Chains A and B, each alone.
Chain A
């Protein structure tokens, strides 16, 4: 078994043994290019590790909770987090440790190294795994190197890598990874050379930053950029960037520091540009195709850190979403500026937009005005949905980044323990539910009030209650308005309050002491600048956790205004409500032309004369622990929410924060949409309600009134008896 090979030992036949990156480095080294010394831990070592520890089967089990193609990226992230934790908690067997150690220790001993991924398939010009797996810079000592080798192995199962493989149709079960352990070169300037411009113009691209190149690769730093003619190396254009920070090694790993001098000067000279041009041509000659090269200058010596073929799929093409997947993994710096934009610009603008839309009452508009208003609202809604995808969803990575740092530092048994540090962050939906709780408590404790509300004697209602109800309606009434009809708004809320008042609230008390202890323990693992970074990351993660809920509330307000206008049009045009999907353009057209028959899209129904399908037990993800047993309340349309009775199990396609006001009524939650950090799961954990998410076809296979058991420990939903 070949477990570790040096660059000199790697031959042509070893390509699939060492992975693309290691193979390229070996070829370049053997061709005389300056490549820092490196060893490769082969895919056989990876195989040995996952086989001897039983991890291979555990990974497959984790990934088979749901068909791979059916998983959303949030579910993939969850699976990926759980798998990463398996790697963190599973030590490498002594025999394998000793075998790797015997090669690595004599070469690197206590020297600092970079531990990089080298996945199979990286050498294909149709696939690019660049940035999808992890690399660790400035790792020292055999124990730490082995620890990081394990983390690189785990990154084979990162959400980004899983999504990319799914998209390319690569077989997940056969995925393997090699690891390169390379001598660190602390360059004063670093960057990339693109041997050929991706838009196929006969140009070469050079990008450069001061310091090490990690800041450039992860998008934290904007590089200076040159375009060179491919045939002559002549500089066609130069775009300088604002240069105020650089990446340098820290005690452990790397850090971002302010650049002291050189702010205005380009990182590379003309002579160095010419050297880079030559290296790009040389490596193109070696590999037979233009390359994407990472380089660094240490003194006068230029080193090639890695080289890979330029993928022929252009970013932005529909079949290549790698750029989007990479965008899901924003760096801390990027997240910080994104937070500023979200908190200071986007959320206020969203609130304003919702308010401004609500000033127009659709029922007062003529048909043609209503048609115009629907189109306007639809356009505004689309604009915000796009922003949601572009900015808000990537910001969710703040929670994920924190989760990873927490798990690496604490290595907890429960990979979601980190969420204990994020809860109680004053989410809007919780504020709304708190107000509901307060009003329902008033009803519970005041018999006269309860009686008056039940008998609809609203004139005799307690003044204090009336005031609270008014304030609630002003702040949170819009969704209820769209679901129950504006005229019924007050009655709808009162009906809900009476139901809530029928039993004491179940909300779990947040164990603040426990969370505080965990926070202290977590922070105690860091020192100095790293500790400061970690404190800032925790703050960012809390904002990310809170905003992922709040943004939905605000987006919900905008969507509510669109729905209100569409509902008004439906009322006028008598388009049947059971129509599952109808686009707004069609509705506007009907308003303008009463003779027009709208195109209706209905889901094809599966039927069979000889067989009838029903579910006995369905699996999903365990999203909030506990066991609940109750009658199912299946939510097919928003008005179903108001039929919810205390103790029922809420079964729905996807809970958004606008719906969570009924959560306190439910004994358990089952959701088709999967994920541990989705709203249903967050709110279920806040209330201590058992929850299973990611149950495919939940709303089709579970019927209203079915008796169901929700097992929030195992992620299983059992239908114990069917509704008659």
Chain B
């Protein structure tokens, strides 16, 4: 069961390019679509964002966030076939050599984002995932806690 769920999760995180990141400011929730990547151990989800964006400023003030990744293809069959995963945890800005390492991995997945992600105005943010909620078969919800 655990192995199967891990496989489903890894397949999803590797195959999907985009995720929805939730943030908030003064009680006002906000969602953003981002191009993301993940670490092999499933411990982190990371994405590039310009520093002047609403999500950047929100997440730097309130680090707790949720990220949604799913495999829907906008067909009716998605209701039973699609997998949706919500990751929860804290988001922080990556700096120095860590940033360089993650940027390399990020560009391996999104080579066309090079100009954007390497721009001096762009930051690399990473969520330290505490838990994944894996939703499949319409209503099946499994929780996967990431041990630190």
Contact = CB atoms under 8 A, between A and B. Distances in A.
Interface of A: 54, 56-57, 60-61, 64-66, 606-619, 697, 700-701, 714, 716
Nearest to B81: A64
Interface in B72-92: 76-77, 79-81
Given A606-B2, A607-B2, A615-B143, 15 more contacts: A57-B76, A57-B79, A61-B77, A61-B80, A64-B137, A65-B137, A611-B2, A611-B6, A611-B145, A614-B145, A616-B141, A618-B140, A619-B137, A701-B1, A714-B139
A619 B139 contact: yes
Contact of B138 (A61, A614, A615): A61
A619 B140 CA distance: 5
B2 A613 contact: yes
B141 A617 contact: yes
B144 A613 contact: yes
Nearest to A58: B76
B142 A615 contact: yes
B1 A606 contact: yes
B112 interface: no
A56 B79 CA distance: 13
B78 to A, nearest CB: 9
B26 interface: no
Contacts of A619: 137-140
B139 A608 contact: no
Contacts of A610: 41-43, 146-147
B18 interface: no
Interface of B: 1-3, 5-6, 41-43, 76-77, 79-81, 133, 137-147
7 contacts: A60-B77, A61-B80, A611-B42, A611-B147, A613-B144, A614-B145, A619-B140
Nearest to A615: B142
B80 A64 contact: yes
Contacts of A54: 76
Contact of A64 (B3, B5, B6, B138): B138
A56 B133 CA distance: 29
B41 to A, nearest CB: 6
A505 to B, nearest CB: 32
A594 B81 CA distance: 54
A255 B55 CA distance: 73
Contact of B139 (A609, A617, A701): A617
Instruction: Name B's interface SS.
Output: mixed
Contacts of A61: 77, 79-80, 138
B130 to A, nearest CB: 11
Nearest to B1: A697
A210 to B, nearest CB: 49
B84 to A, nearest CB: 13
Nearest to B142: A615
Interface centre among A61, A66, A716 (most CB of B within 10 A): A61
Contacts of B6: 608, 611
Nearest to A718: B141
Contacts of A617: 139-141
Given A64-B138, A617-B140, A619-B138, A612 B80 contact: no
Contacts of B80: 57, 60-61, 64
Contacts of A612: 144-145, 147
A60 B41 contact: no
A374 to B, nearest CB: 34
A603 to B, nearest CB: 11
A614 B2 CA distance: 9
Given A608-B6, A700-B1, A613 B142 contact: yes
Contacts of A56: 77
Which 8 pairs from chain A and chain B are nearest by CB?
A617-B141, A64-B80, A57-B76, A616-B141, A612-B145, A606-B2, A613-B2, A61-B80
A607 B3 CA distance: 9
Contacts of A701: 1, 142
A606 B6 CA distance: 11
Given A54-B76, A60-B77, A716-B139, A608 B2 contact: yes
Nearest to A67: B137
Contacts of B137: 64-66, 619
A368 B125 CA distance: 72
A617 B41 CA distance: 25
A300 B117 CA distance: 85
A430 to B, nearest CB: 32
A265 B77 CA distance: 58
A612 B5 CA distance: 10
Interface centre among A57, A609, A700 (most CB of B within 10 A): A57
Contact of B1 (A57, A60, A613): A613
A56 B3 CA distance: 31
Contacts of B139: 617, 619, 714, 716
Nearest to B132: A611
Contacts of A66: 137
